[in-house]
Amino acid sequence: MKGPFSYQRIMAAIMLLFGLVATAEAAGVPLVLIIGDSISIGYTEPVRRMLEGQAEVVRIPVNGGDTWTGLKQLTTWLGEGRWDVIHFNWGLHDLKYLKDGKYDTSGTRVSTREQYVANLEQLVGRLQATRATLIWAATTPIPEGSVGRVKGQEVEFNVAAREVMDRRGVTVNDLHTYVRPYLERYQRANNVHFTPEGYGYLARKVARCILNALRDQPPPFTMPEVKAPAFAERTFDIRDYGATPGGATSSSEAITKAIAACTAAGGGRVLVPQGVWLTGAVHLKSNVDLHLAAGAELRFSTDAKDYLPPVFVRWGGMECYNYSPLIYANGCTNIAITGEGKIEAQGRPWWPWVKEQDRVSRHLYEMVLRGDPTEKRTFGTETDPLRPQLFQPINCRNVLIEGVSITSGPFWTIQAVYCENVLVRRITVATE
C-alpha cells in the first residue's frame, strides 16, 4: 500500500506524535494538536513560532483529508497523549468533485451536506471524549477556478458546521470571515491555497484562539491598544443647515449637509441639539463625530424609501446591496456617535418583515452559493425586503460609539464589519 495513509506513514505519524507528546509533558507545557488539510499545513509552522515556550504545537503529519478519512484515522492521530487544546477542520476535501478518480466538477462531490454533518457529529463526539478544549476552524474560501471545487460552496458547509459546533458547545475560529476581505492579497489565483504571507495572517488568528483557550498563557505578541478617535474643535450645528425640530418635518437633508461641511473642513463635531429631529438614513464621513446633546432625540423615518438607494452591506454574514442602515459609513476613518442624547429608531414597522426573511435570505444565500457578483445581489425592494441594521460601519478604522441610548432598532443594532479599532462604551440599548 503506497497511498497517503500507508502503513509506513501511519507508523511514522505515531512515532512523531508520541515523541513530541513525551517532550511536551516532560517540559510541563500545554499540548496542542492541529488536525486539518493542507491549509493547516501552511499555518502550523508560524503558529509554532508564535507559541514557542508557551505550548507544544503538534500537527498530524499527513493531510487530514475529508471527514471520511478523519473517521478512519482519528484514533491514530490522537495517540495516547493528553491534549489540552485540539484545533481542527474538515471541509475542503469533502467539497471536492471526483470523476474517474480525478478532480472534475462534472463528477460527484465527496460528501453531501447531510453526510458531512453526520460525520462531523461523530468526529466531534470522539474529540470531546479526549476532554481537550476544542476549537473548530471554519473552512477557508474556495475561489473561482479552483480545480475540482465550486466557488462559494464552503459557505453552506460552514453554516452546517457551525450548527454542529453550537449544539456541541465547541468554539468556532471563523477563518473564513477573517481572511475573506484580503483574498486578493493573500490567496493564490484560482487556488484554495495561500501565499506565505497569507499563511502567516491565518496563523495569527489561530495562535490567538489557542491562547484564549489556554487562558493562563500570556499572549505571544502585544495586543494593540484600542484608542478613541480624536476630532477637531469645530462644531457644525444642524440648525445652521436648515434642520427643523419637532419630529414632523424631515431634517435629513440638513444633517447630510452638515456632515459634508464637517468632513470638507477637516472634521469636527456635527451637533444634534436638544429637541426631536426626524431623519432618514445618516451617512457618516471621515473625521465626523455625530454628537447628540442631552435632550436630543434623533428619530428615524419609518418610510423604507428614505433608506434608498441600496448600499453595500453585510447581511447575515453575506455581502449584498440592501436598504441603507439607519446610520452607515463605508471606508471611513475617525467616525463617532457620541453624547447623552437618544437614537429612536422606530423599528416596529420593520419587524413584520421577518415573515418574509426566510424566503429572501434564502434567495441571497443561493446567490452567494452560485458565486453571483456582489453588485448583482441587490435587495432593498418591495419584492425582496431585508431589514436594515441600525448602525453598520463597514471597512472603517477608528470607530467610537459612546454615551448615547438606542431604542427600537429595526434589526441588528451595532454591526461593525471589516473594521479596525472599534470602541463601544457606556451606551444603553433597549430594543426588542
Please report, for the chain, the start and end positions of each structural domain, with discontinuous segments joined by +.
7-214, 235-430
Which CATH entry fits the domain spanning 235-430: 3.30.420.80, 3.30.56.10, 2.160.20.10, 1.20.210.10?
2.160.20.10
- Closest alpha carbon to 186 in 46, 387, 356, 31: 46
| Statement: residue 222 has pLDDT above 80 | no
Cα(63)–Cα(23) distance, rounded to whole angstroms?
A: 23
- Quick one: pLDDT band at residue 382, thresholds 50, 70, 90? confident
pLDDT digits (tens, 9 = 90+) for 227-285: 899 999 999 999 999 999 999 999 999 999 999 999 999 999 999 999 999 999 999 99
Q: Is the peptide bond before 309 cis (omega within 30 degrees of 0)?
A: yes
- Please say whether the beta carbons of 262 and 309 come within 8 A: no
Mean pLDDT of the chain: 91
| Statement: residue 25 has pLDDT above 80 | no
Instruction: List, in order, residues 6 or more apart from 45 with CB less than 8 Å away.
Output: 203
Specify the pLDDT at position 12: 46
pTM: 0.53
State mean pLDDT over 155-167.
97
Specify the pLDDT at position 274: 98
| Statement: residue 388 has pLDDT above 50 | yes
Specify the pLDDT at position 357: 85
Specify the pLDDT at position 6: 44
Instruction: List, in order, residues 6 or more apart from 377 with CB less than 8 Å away.
Output: 318, 319, 320, 321, 364, 367, 368
Specify the pLDDT at position 217: 46
| Statement: residue 220 has pLDDT above 60 | no
Task: Tell me whether residue 139 is exposed, middle or buried, using C-beta atoms within 10 angstroms of its C-beta: 0 to 12, 13 to 18, 19 or more.
Answer: buried
| Statement: residue 22 has pLDDT above 70 | no
18-32, 89-103, 187-201, 256-270 — which is least confidently predicted? 18-32
Instruction: List, in order, residues 6 or more apart from 173 with CB less than 8 Å away.
Output: 87, 135, 136, 137, 138, 205, 206, 209
- Quick one: pLDDT band at residue 24, thresholds 50, 70, 90? very low
Domain 7-214: give its CATH superfamily.
SGNH hydrolase (3.40.50.1110)
Specify the pLDDT at position 27: 52
- Closest alpha carbon to 152 in 38, 319, 316, 310: 319
State mean pLDDT over 347-376.
90
Specify the pLDDT at position 221: 63
Backbone angles phi, psi at 194, to 5 degrees: -120, 165
| Statement: residue 3 has pLDDT above 60 | no
Specify the pLDDT at position 95: 97
